[in-house]
Structure 1
Amino acid sequence: MNAMHQYLFDAYRAARLGEPAPPVPGTHDVAVLRSVRDRRRFARVLAGRPARGALRTALRRLLHPAPADRRRSCSC
């Protein structure tokens, strides 16, 4: 059973009992994603890291690695 089936069952039950219908699946998705983003930014600020640009920096490191002579070498 997926979310739409569950919604239809809940809407049917609410209509039979005279209760308000539940929200449609996906109604609050954007708000949830926005709050997750804000919480992660806040945690980065508390940790002393920049709040923005982490994804872009990680992609830049992945796609454009530094030349071999500028890479840090492990002193194992």
Structure 2
Amino acid sequence: MSITQQYLLDTYRAQQHGESAPPAPGQHDWQVARELRDYRRFRAVVGGLPAHGRIREALGRWLHGRRPAGC
């Protein structure tokens, strides 16, 4: 069963029971992505790492053999 079919079934059942319809699939995806990004940045800062540019810095070290900026 696809997501769309499940959503339509849930909407139909909610209507039959007089309840409000569930949120459409994908409606909150961007909010979840932002919260995940913020959580990862928070964990980086708590762990003593820079919050921005960690992936690019790591790729630069790997590709060019550079040492980390803080060393």
- Shorter-chain TM-score bucket reads 0.7 to 0.9
Unaligned runs of 5+ in 1: 72-76
Structure 1 match to 2:56: 56
- Percent identity between matched residues is 52
C-alpha distance in structure 1 between counterparts of 2:59 and 2:28, whole Å: 29
Q: Number of matched residues?
A: 67
- Mapping for residues 1-76 of structure 1, pairs under 5 Å: 1-62=1-62, 64-66=63-65
Output the aligned Cα RMSD.
Answer: 1.7
Unaligned runs of 5+ in 2: none
Give the residue type in structure 1 aligned to 2:64.
P
Q: CA deviation at 1:5?
A: 1.1
Q: Give the structure-1-normalised TM-score.
A: 0.77
